[in-house]
């Protein structure tokens, strides 16, 4: 068995540089992004407030028509 060489190579300071070069040459990793559908969009507070106001106006108009005309 050959003896291990001590003190050979670029050392620990150059190790991160080698890793970044290897990553630059490699294909970028695909990151899975979960699709966000309609229910996610409807659960946002500003949109819910807006839809509540619009629904209240439509409902109030419908009640007004039923009760007072």
d(CA 57, CA 48): 14
Question: Residue 46 falls within a domain, yes or no?
Answer: yes
What tokens were used for 38? Answer: 């309609």
Q: What is the 3-state secondary structure (H, E, C) of the chain?
A: CCCCCCCCCCCHHHHHHHHHHHHHHCCCCCCCCCCCCHHHHHCCHHHHHHHHHHHHHHHHHHHHHHHHC
Given this model, what pLDDT does residue 34 score?
78
Q: Which residue has the higher pLDDT, 36 or 54?
A: 54
Given this model, what pLDDT does residue 57 score?
98
pLDDT digits (tens, 9 = 90+) for 7-52: 555 555 555 555 556 555 666 678 878 777 777 777 788 888 999 9
When divided into structural domains, the chain yields a total of 1
Question: Residue 59 falls within a domain, yes or no?
Answer: yes
pTM: 0.44
Question: Residue 51 falls within a domain, yes or no?
Answer: yes
Question: Residue 5 falls within a domain, yes or no?
Answer: no
d(CA 36, CA 40): 6
Range of the domain at 43: 36-69
Question: Residue 8 falls within a domain, yes or no?
Answer: no
Question: Residue 58 falls within a domain, yes or no?
Answer: yes
Question: Residue 2 falls within a domain, yes or no?
Answer: no
């Amino acid at each position: 068995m050959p003896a291990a060489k001590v003190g050979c190579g670029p050392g620990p300071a150059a190790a991160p540089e080698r890793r970044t070069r290897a990553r630059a040459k490699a294909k970028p990793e695909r990151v899975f992004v979960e699709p966000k559908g309609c229910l996610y969009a409807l659960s946002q507070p500003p949109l819910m407030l807006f839809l509540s106001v619009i629904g209240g106006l439509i409902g109030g108009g419908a009640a007004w028509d039923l009760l007072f005309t």
